Amino acid sequence: MLSQTYLVRRFRLPGFLTWALIAVEAVLMLISRESLYPTMLRFFPSGYSMLTIGGGITLWWWTLTATAALIWLRDKLVKQDFQPARRAWLKASATAVCAAPVVALSAGIATRKHFTIEEIDLHFPNLPKDLQGLRLLQISDIHMSDFFSAADLSRAVAASNELRPDIAFVTGDLITTQWDPLDQCLLELAKLRASSGVWGCLGNHEMHAHAERYTTQKALEYDIRFLRQGAVPLRFGQSQINLVGVDHQRRERPYLQRVEELVTPGGFNLLLSHNPDVFPVAARKGFQLTLAGHTHGGQINLPIGQANLNIADLITPFTKGAYKLPGSSLYVNAGLGTIGVPVRLGAPPEITLIRLCDSSS
């Protein structure tokens, strides 16, 4: 509220504008409450719209605060400098800095669906011969909603099929709320093509939407198999992958309870877990590879000096890309959709193709 007051006074805007902005924000926060979703669905196509209002308010507050701070700093610098040329340079520079957040956010909205295809080789010691060169496709965090449509997913699926994967994986969060078009999402995922099938695990948003059982059963109609504390052997020639999938692992509980019962000793064990935090536990329990999502690659990344800051860094050390521990690897997919606000900065949506390689050769 202080930032709004400062900006109104700084630019000599009518005083009532502050109260009008506060009133509008209060109304928006009220209608974004989940308890009012059934009523607000008359006005919005899906629950994601209300969730976005809440996220948008938060982003709006941060933008106002940053803008107020930068304008205050610009004013101070200009007042302290008495050289006309330097004053003009400082004023122009400060104005550009103030405009940068707006420009960046606009770019993040415009490019949020421009997915990249990340191809990576992961190396494992003594990888069985028939698993060498195996092509694993991963997509994650679709969040089909008002801001990520069936047409958007169709484009991603078509691009995935062009990569000719041996196995395709979907690592959770097909939707955001129980009002989102889950059936439509599954219908598009049914178009994925991989010689050894389409497999997946469920995310925290399936859990929050109480859609875990429905998703699993409906997906079977399209030959998509979501593993829930289950294991399946996938054979390739004389070798096999022991594929294990778990539901979203909550932070307040011990990770991967009893999952060691699903591990094949001496085999190649691959874990599907929406939450990447499980990686150290997965490595200790005998998994050579873990595939995860959940973080959206940070979704909004702020480069400050040599650092790259995002909110996911406050939750997990595993935010995007490949990580290694002795005898085990993790890949965290940045996802296709968005959460909170339809913006991506420094974390483009991603389709991943992983090739298994033998590091001992």
Q: How confident is the model at residue 339 (pLDDT cuts 50, 70, 90)?
A: confident
Of the candidates 114, 192, 112, 115, the one whose C-alpha atom is nearest the C-alpha of residue 160 is 192
Judge whether 38 and 17 are in contact, CB under 8 Å.
no
Torsion of CA 310, 250, 321, 344, to 10 degrees: -40
Contacts of residue 353, defined as CB under 8 A and 6 or more positions apart, other chains included, come to 117, 118, 119, 120, 135, 136, 137, 138, 163, 165
Highest mean predicted confidence (pLDDT) among 43-47, 90-94, 244-248: 244-248
Q: Of the given ranges (89-103, 128-142, 188-202, 340-354), which has the lowest mean pLDDT?
A: 89-103
pLDDT tens readout for residues 289-306: 999 999 999 888 776 666
Rounded mean pLDDT, 17-36: 58
The structure tokens 């994650």 sit at 140
Q: What is the mean pLDDT of residues 81-90?
A: 54
What is the pLDDT, as a whole number, of residue 48? 47
Backbone angles phi, psi at 293, to 5 degrees: -145, -125
Predicted pLDDT at 134: 97
Per-residue pLDDT band at 11 (split at 50, 70, 90): low
The answer to whether residue 98 scores a pLDDT higher than 70 is no
Of 148-162, 299-313, 332-346, the range with the highest mean pLDDT is: 148-162
pLDDT of residue 2: 55
- Predicted pLDDT of residue 361: 60
pLDDT of residue 30: 55
d(CA 101, CA 72): 16
pLDDT at 172 (0 to 100)? 95
226 pLDDT band, cuts 50/70/90, is: very high
Between residues 308 and 272, which one has the greater pLDDT? 272
The fold for domain 116-358 equals Purple Acid Phosphatase; chain A, domain 2 (3.60.21)
Per the DSSP assignment, residues forming a β-bridge with 351 are 117
Give the chain's mean pLDDT: 82
Position 304, amino acid = I
The predicted structure's pLDDT at residue 34: 45
- Output the pLDDT for position 302: 73
Q: Domain residue spans in the chain?
A: 2-110, 116-358
* Residue whose tokens read 């994967």: 165
